[in-house]
């Protein structure tokens, strides 16, 4: 049951109980008043009777009283008078108690009787004396009994109770309804608005301000919520600015790395082209010296043609490489990309006695991305692993599909990612270095061996693909780097909890081929 109806019902029931107790107390007081009034009337009547009959000697009691009682009964209305004791005549059991009290007090004593199954009645014992008060020979000569049917008191009390009942029920219902409406307006609706605002925050909407201007507890809760929204908004803007700056920096770094690569390529070209150019120059000079020897001319012309073809090939390769550097978004078969990358390092792997295994899950979906950039990430991580295993070891690459929640986005739903995991048996990455290795120019390699840009650039590329990289210890020592890349568009991704790795099949070979 919801809060509003629950609080309204509980409070109304408590209220009904309290009102019922109050009405019961009113009825008790009403009954006591009625009894007091009846007692007063009986005492007044007893005084009048005593004044009319006294003095009455014990001898007169037997003879005079019956007639007096009979004539009084004719005028007493609801009261009934009887002689209950005189001379040696003792009162019966019913009157004995009242007579005892009346003789002890030497005054009329009355009491209300409520016998089981019989109507309520009032009885009073009235002592009669033989002389006026103060006379030395004054003594009690007889007792009169005054009886009155008092069932009218019960009727009056019950009648009042029944008259109050409808107002009580109506009052309680009206109170309950009013309470419910007030609770709904003042508590339930504001809380609902707060919950809607919290849901909106979960959806990423930080623009809502709720219940401004309320000065009670709900108002201060809403105020705290609004402050938190302001704080989150500012933090989000700050983070967006920092992210933009970081992206600019990463782009800058990638450009710097490309420039470095261009410099390296230029040196390579100079070296590669220099040799055939020397050969061409030498052969051309020989041709110029011996133009009359056809065999020599043909031989040198053939060599010059071969060298020109070699230069053409080198230039074509450079052109191909430069064309590839343009980002090309397509559906990428990561297993193929990984195997191609491993092909590039095949010689190095053999030289360092490293055993390579590729374990790719069956039916891996292609992912959206740039195959060259993904290959660059794979090569950077694999090269690091190879460099970490100078004296040989095992390099294992696992490819599988997992369902994960993107790191740092606790509220976003889990979605499918392709996980590229590279494990080696090198010395591993110290915990203290794990945050630093993604920083540009962080390297533990000797000068000239590493620029410290490989992982910084890889992180940028993976981030452009809306993925992330994790670092871990390998179970048997060494390092594990896991690259997570989203599978399909956000709209296509199923929503599920936790990791559900796809089945993994062994697909091994010295270089994964
Ligand atoms: N598999 C690994 N085992 C041990 N240390 C590693 C591993 N991968 C990375 N590192 C550490 O991370 C550092 C940074 O790596 P990163 O690829 O960014 O730069 P680099 O390899 O030093 O230089 P570059 O890649 O630019 O030639 C490395 O110098 C190394 O200390
Ligand atoms: Mg590296």
Q: For 13, phi and psi rounded to 5 degrees?
A: -65, -45
Query: Which protein residue's CA is at the shortest distance from atom 29 of ligand 1?
Result: 443
Instruction: Indicate whether residue 445 lines ligand 1 (CB < 6 A).
Output: yes
Query: Which residue ranges in the chain fall short of pLDDT 70?
Result: 258, 260-272, 275, 313-314, 316-328, 408-411, 448, 489-513
Q: In 187-262, which ranges are E strands? A: none
Q: What is the pTM of this model?
A: 0.43
Question: 442 CB under 6 A from ligand 1?
Answer: yes
Q: Is 384 in the pocket of ligand 1 (CB under 6 A)?
A: yes
Q: Is the CB of 434 under 6 A from ligand 1?
A: no
pLDDT at site 115: 87
CATH number for 3-157 (one of 3.30.450.20, 3.40.50.2020, 3.40.50.2300, 1.10.220.150): it is 3.30.450.20
Residue with tokens 């509003």: 4
The sign of the dihedral angle between the CA atoms of 66, 69, 74, 79 is: negative
Cα of 507 vs centre of ligand 1, distance in Å, is: 27
Pocket of ligand 1 contains residue 175 by CB under 6 Å: no
Cα separation, 11 vs 176, in Å, equals: 8
User: Spelled out in words, what is the top-level CATH class assigned to the domain 330-492?
Assistant: alpha beta
CA distance 507 to 6: 63
DSSP result, 245-269: HHHHHHHHHHHHHHHHHHHHHHHHH
Q: In this structure, which ligand is nearest to the CA of 474?
A: 1
- Ligand 1 atom 12: residue of nearest CA: 437
Calculated CA dihedral for residues 333, 337, 340, 341, nearest 10 degrees: -170
Please state whether 113 falls in left (phi above 0), alpha (psi between -120 and 50) or beta. beta
Specify the DSSP element, H or E, that contains 367. strand 367-369
- Residue 158: exposed, middle, or buried by beta-carbon count in 10 A (0-12, 13-18, 19+)? exposed
Q: Is 453 in the pocket of ligand 1 (CB under 6 A)?
A: yes
| Consecutive H or E run containing 396 | strand 393-404
Could you tell me the distance, in angstroms and rounded to a whole number, from the CA of residue 324 to the centre of ligand 1?
A: 25
Mutate to test the pocket of ligand 1, among 348, 378, 380, 384 (most ligand atoms within 8 A of CB): 384
Atom of ligand 1 nearest to the CA of 385: 1
CA 238 to chain centre: 27
Structural tokens at position 106: 């030497």
Q: From CA 179, how far away is CA 9, in angstroms rounded?
A: 9
Q: What is the pLDDT of residues 278-326, one digit of tens each?
A: 788 888 988 888 888 888 889 889 888 888 887 876 676 555 555 445 4
Cα(first)–Cα(last) distance of the chain, in Å?
Answer: 64
User: Any idea which ligand is nearest the CA of 459?
Assistant: 1
Cα(421) to ligand 1 centroid in Å equals 16
Residue 507 pLDDT: 36
Q: Which residues surround ligand 2, an ion (CB under 5 A)?
A: 384, 454
Regarding the beta carbon of 452 and ligand 1, being less than 6 Å apart is answered yes
Contacts of 490 (CB under 8 A, 6+ apart): 415
Calculate how far, in angstroms, residue 386's C-alpha sits from the geometric centre of ligand 2: 10
Q: Is the CB of 451 under 6 A from ligand 1?
A: yes
Residue nearest to atom 17 of ligand 1 (CA): 454
Residue to probe by mutation, ligand 1, list 439, 443, 451, most atoms within 8 Å of CB: 443
Closest listed residue to residue 488, CA positions, set 391, 372, 366:
366
Going from N- to C-terminal start, the domains of the chain cover 3-157, 218-324, 330-492
Instruction: List pLDDT tens digits, range 444-469.
Output: 988 767 778 889 889 988 988 999 99
374 lines ligand 1 (CB under 6 A): no
Give CA 328 to chain center in angstroms.
43
Whose alpha carbon is nearest atom 19 of ligand 1? 452
Residue 494: its pLDDT value, please?
A: 39
3-state secondary structure (DSSP) of residue 470: strand
> Which class does domain 218-324 fall in?
mainly alpha
Residue 429 CB less than 6 A away from ligand 1: yes
């Amino acid at each position: 049951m919801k809060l509003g109806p629950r609080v309204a019902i509980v409070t109304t029931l408590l209220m009904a109980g309290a009102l019922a107790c109050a009405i019961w107390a009113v009825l008790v007081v009403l009954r006591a008043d009625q009894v007091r009034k009846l007692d007063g009337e009986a005492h007044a009547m007893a005084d009048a009777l005593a004044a009319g009959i006294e003095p009455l000697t014990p001898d007169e009691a037997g003879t005079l009283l019956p007639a007096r009682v009979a004539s009084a009964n004719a005028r007493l209305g609801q009261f009934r008078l009887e002689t209950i004791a005189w001379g040696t005549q003792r009162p019966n059991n019913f009157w004995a108690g009242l007579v005892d009290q009346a003789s002890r007090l030497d005054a009329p004593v009355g009491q209300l009787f409520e016998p089981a199954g019989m109507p309520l009645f009032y009885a009073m014992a009235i002592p009669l004396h033989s002389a006026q008060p103060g006379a030395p020979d004054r003594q009690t000569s007889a007792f009169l009994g005054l009886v009155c049917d008092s069932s009218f008191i019960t009727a009056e009390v019950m009648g009042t109770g029944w008259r109050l009942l409808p107002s009580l029920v109506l009052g309680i219902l009206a109170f309950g309804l009013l309470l419910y409406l007030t609770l709904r307006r003042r508590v339930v609706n504001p809380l609902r608005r707060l919950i809607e605002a919290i849901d909106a925050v979960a959806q990423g909407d930080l623009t809502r301000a709720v219940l401004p201007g309320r000065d009670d507890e709900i108002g201060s809760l809403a105020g705290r919520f609004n402050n938190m929204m302001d704080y989150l908004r500012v933090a989000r803007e700050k983070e967006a600015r920092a992210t933009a700056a970081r992206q600019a920096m990463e782009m800058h770094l990638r450009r710097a790395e490309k420039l470095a690569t261009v410099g390296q390529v230029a040196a390579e070209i100079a070296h590669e082209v220099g040799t055939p150019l020397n050969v061409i120059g030498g052969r051309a000079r020989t041709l110029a010296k011996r133009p009359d020897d056809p065999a020599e001319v043909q031989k040198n012309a053939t060599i010059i043609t071969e060298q020109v073809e070699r230069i053409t090939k080198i230039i074509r390769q450079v052109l191909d490489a430069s064309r590839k550097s343009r980002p090309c978004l397509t559906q990428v078969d990561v297993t193929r990309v990984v195997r191609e990358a491993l092909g590039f390092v095949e010689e190095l792997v053999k030289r360092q006695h490293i055993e390579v295994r590729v374990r790719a899950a069956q039916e891996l979906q292609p992912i959206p991305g740039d195959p060259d950039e993904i290959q660059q990430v794979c090569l950077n991580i694999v090269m690091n692993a190879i460099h970490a295993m100078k004296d040989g070891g095992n390099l294992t690459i696992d490819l599988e599909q997992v369902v994960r929640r993107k790191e740092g986005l606790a509220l976003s739903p889990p979605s499918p990612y392709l996980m590229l995991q590279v494990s080696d048996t090198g010395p591993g990455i110290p915990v203290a270095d794990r945050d630093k290795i993604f920083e540009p120019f962080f390297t533990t390699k000797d000068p000239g061996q590493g620029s410290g840009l490989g992982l910084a650039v890889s992180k940028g590329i993976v981030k452009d693909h809306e993925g992330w990289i994790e670092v871990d210890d390998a179970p048997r020592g060494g390092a594990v780097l896991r690259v997570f890349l989203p599978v399909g568009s956000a709209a296509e991704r199923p929503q599920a909890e936790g990791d559900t790795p796809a089945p993994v099949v062994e697909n091994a070979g010295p270089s994964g081929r």
